[in-house]
Structure 1
Amino acid sequence: MHINTMSARPESPRSTSHCENCATECSTHTLRCEKCGHVSSRFTYRSRVAASALALFGGALGLHRFYLGQWRGVIYLLFCWTPVPWLVALVECIIFMTTDQRRWNQRYNHGIGNGHESARVLAVFLITGFLLIAGALITSLYIPFKAFSDLSGLQNQVRASQTLGKSAQRYIQQTGRRPSQLSDLSLPGAFTEKYGQHIQIVRGRISMQFDNAGNASAGELIMEPVIVGDDVLWDCSESTVPAVFHPNICK
């Protein structure tokens, strides 16, 4: 007769805990007591509204994924310098907002609900986000356009000052004296109409006010004629406009 001397393997102890409310024995993996419905203090509710807002405003950094306890938010951080994480997060924001509350709780809250999160709040977040994005895009387009417009306006004034200086130079060479007023110079009517109010001539000393796109003062160009024999040189050292905008006749 064969006797089995092998002892039976001991059963692994069950991992249990007690309900904080009614002291009923529950599995440690259970977040809601089956008897009284009490939710364990270990449970953290993850809001659909909060996740949507984080995806909208901080999605480029993966904040919504960290909030949901998903460490793949690190991937967003690695590529945050590109527009890809932001675009992905924007799509995820829309998905979060359109997800049914019950499905959301089953996926991110172990089926535990915390009331109904109003779609109006989500809509406010979405509208606010789109307004901020639209404002940022408009600003990003306006700033370079404004800079280009200002530079173009200043370049036109540089060319005008070059025309003004050459006309004054011809007048001095032809008459042997310095101009005393703008009408002494042979300038087109359109030139005088456009720049005349910005130009002053006092005893041959010509000053021209430069405007930044016609709004803010960019400085004053002062051209002092220096007659050397038959040549006329221009001293622009007293100008307040940056030297980069001085005409070629300045020495």
Structure 2
Amino acid sequence: MSENSLKSSDEKYCSECAAIINAKAEICPKCGVRQMHPSVTVNLGALAPNGKSRIAAALLAFFLGGFGVHKFYLGQVGLGILYLIFFWTVIPSIIAFIEFVLLLIMSDEEFNRRHGQF
């Protein structure tokens, strides 16, 4: 299989080196990098490079957002502490509900851009 050929239906591109490999290949024969299974990202939503999930962040914002748990999850410790200080005013709960909705409608690409850094 040459690299200049087009990919067929039973082939895919390596996630690391972009070589054309068998669609069922677990490891790229060219660079040796293990390939991710698409079923993991389809069922649970895509994970950011740092392992954070948009759906998990949205659920934390809905159920525990008044305490800022979703902010701690996303690495925004300062805002999480601010939510904890003012949770008794119910304002953080209202903001967390708005953030819950925004996280649900946000694309995975946008989530990765905002929260995907290490």
Query: 1:84 corresponds to which letter in structure 2?
Result: I
Q: Does 1:95 align with 2:95?
A: no
Residue ranges of structure 1 left out of the alignment (5+ in a row):
1-35, 111-251
What residue number does 1:75 align with? Answer: 82
Check 1:83–1:37 CA distance in 2 against 1; reply closer, same or farther (3 A cut): farther
Counterpart residue number, 1:46: 52
Shift of 1:74: 0.3
Given the two structures, how large is their TM-score scaled by the length of structure 1? 0.27
Relative distance call for 1:79 and 1:106 in structure 2 (3 A) is: same
Kindly state the Cα deviation for residue 44 of structure 1 after the two structures are TM-superposed.
3.2
Q: Which runs of 5 or more structure 2 residues have no equivalent in the other structure?
A: 1-30, 34-48
Equivalent residues in 2 for 1:1-251, closer than 5 Å = 44-71=50-77, 72-110=79-117
Q: 1:37 to 1:67 in 2, by over 3 A?
A: farther
Structure showing greater relative contact order (alpha-carbon pairs closer than 8 Å, 6 or more residues apart): 2
Please tell me whether Structure 1 or Structure 2 has the larger radius of gyration of its CA atoms. Answer: 1
Letter of the structure 2 residue corresponding to residue 91 of structure 1:
I
Identity of aligned residues (%): 39
TM-score scaled by length of structure 2:
0.56
- AA aligned opposite 1:107: R
1:221-246 C-alpha deviation (Å, 9 max, x unpaired): xxxxxxxxxxxxxxxxxxxxxxxxxx
Count how many residue pairs are aligned between Structure 1 and Structure 2: 72
Which structure is higher in helix share?
2
